[in-house]
Structure 1
Amino acid sequence: MQQVVKMVDTLNKAVGIILSLMLGVMSILIIVQVISRFLIHFPLTWSEELSRYLMMYIVFAGASLAMRHNQLISIELLPELISAKKRKVVIILVAILSIVFFGILFFQGLNMLEHVQAQTSPGLGISMAIPYAALPIGSLLLALNAIALIFDISSKKEDEK
């Protein structure tokens, strides 16, 4: 179990670095787009589209990092009212249900890739499979992090939090 958690944590470090780079590129692109549109009066036709596609990857991969540390937005009324042992069970059940959802999302994302791979994006001229791949990649990362969360929580003792 601990090997799986360590493997996912190593993957998450790489994902975090990639996310940082993507966020930096997206921020620079948006600034350059604003400058080129309003100061130079020469808008870049592809920068807004690339920024949008980068944002899709950032959201999915960032959500997977939040999943690993149980930091996704949630309503915690029930877990706060029950004992630590029951709270652990509730968190694990929610993670298992999430894995089922991420599995459905993964396979539907793959199905969607088949339908859009022949289409090209208007600004960049790339296959639409590239931006749509954020869905299966992100859902796979989310599922892996949910599994690591389950292993991590189930291995903790009652007095740990």
Structure 2
Amino acid sequence: MKSLCDALEHFLGFVCALAVGSFTFLIILDVACRFVFHFPITWLNELSIFLFQLTSFTGATIALRKGLHFGLGLMVQDIWPKLSKTLQPIAIVVVAITSGLIVYLAIIMAKQAWHSTYTTLPFSQATIYVVTMISAVIMVLFSIEELLERFSTPSQRSA
């Protein structure tokens, strides 16, 4: 499972880096076209917003894998250090359940938006909800991996 999660993390990192680079380039292009050449390109705004959303969801998934998620785990360690070993798995379960809820809601929202396209882009607005759902599924997988790692024996962890 660790090698699958490592591969997913690397892939998401690549997607996130590509999205950030594209987002940055499009913003610079949009500013140049709009203010220097006085020729606005309308689809750049919508594509930039889409790439920002894509970056947010892939980045959140990577942050979860690296243990930087939502501050819940850090809060447990700082406030109740003696209970940290007991409360950390609970925090991981809360994140997994919340991610599962996001999957469910993203499916509902994707169904509702499936036939609605962006004003200037040739694809469905449901695309971002599909991205959200995929990110949340991977978050559930990363949470399960973290739980399995916490409850495995020390000899299993080194393997």
- When normalised by structure 2's length, the TM-score is 0.87
The corresponding residue for 2:15 is 18
1:48 to 36, 41, 45: 45
1:8 to 5, 9, 27: 5
Distance 2:24 2:115 in 1: 29
1:10 positional shift: 1.2
Distance 1:64 1:122 in 2: 29
Q: Indicate conservation of the 8 Å contact 2:76/2:88, yes or no.
A: no
Superposed CA RMSD in Å reads: 1.7
Larger RCO: Structure 1 or Structure 2 (Cα < 8 Å, ≥ 6 residues apart)? 1
Question: How many residue pairs align between the two structures?
Answer: 152
1:77 positional shift: 4.5
The corresponding residue for 2:117 is 120
1:99 positional shift: 0.9
Give the residue type in structure 2 aligned to 1:79.
Answer: Q
2:143 to 136, 141, 146: 146
Distance 1:33 1:156 in 2: 54
Q: Indicate conservation of the 8 Å contact 1:5/1:151, yes or no.
A: no
The unaligned stretches of length 5 or more in structure 1 are: none
Identity of aligned residues (%): 24
- When normalised by structure 1's length, the TM-score is 0.86
Q: Indicate conservation of the 8 Å contact 2:15/2:58, yes or no.
A: no
Give runs of aligned pairs for residues 30-109 of structure 1, distance below 5 A.
Answer: 30-74=27-71, 76-80=74-78, 81-83=80-82, 86-109=83-106
Of 56-65 and 132-141, deviating more is 132-141
